[in-house]
Amino acid sequence: MWDILASVGHGIKAFFLFFKPVVDFIISTGVPDQVENVKYKELFTNGWFMVPYLFMIGWNIYKKQLYTIIIILLFTGSWAFFGTPYMRGIMGQDQISLEAVLPLVGGACVVLIITIYLIFFKSE
């Protein structure tokens, strides 16, 4: 039995080591720091971001994929919410209180439920 568990353990380790170069590349390029320091006003006025973003939304409107547009807007709104002063105030505290986290968890659950519903139960 221990031989089986050892081989499963080695398989799991090999699976995760497969992604190690990707994670190392992401960390070496500074992507986590860039995501942490995003300035939303500058991002949504930058043509290099807005042209592909608007093209993607326009293409989904042309194809009449309403559910895809709703999912894109839900995730964009959620992502923008994490840059608000309210969110920075919550994460900047030494101890995070339950009263501050419950609205975030509730909002995340609503976004997740709507996304799952649109993807699996109401497909186009």
Note whether 43 and 104 are same-domain residues.
yes
Note whether 54 and 81 are same-domain residues.
yes
Note whether 23 and 71 are same-domain residues.
no
3-state SS class at 121: helix
In SS3 terms, 63-79 reads as CCCHHHHHHHHHHHHHH
Structural tokens at position 1:
């039995």
> For 43-92, what is each residue's pLDDT tens digit?
778 888 889 989 999 999 898 888 889 999 998 888 777 767 777 777 66
Note whether 2 and 33 are same-domain residues.
yes
CB 102 within 8 A of CB 96: no
- Look up the domain containing 14 and give its range: 1-37
CA–CA dist 98, 46 (Å, integer): 37
More confident residue, 114 or 30: 114
For residue 103, pLDDT beyond 70: yes
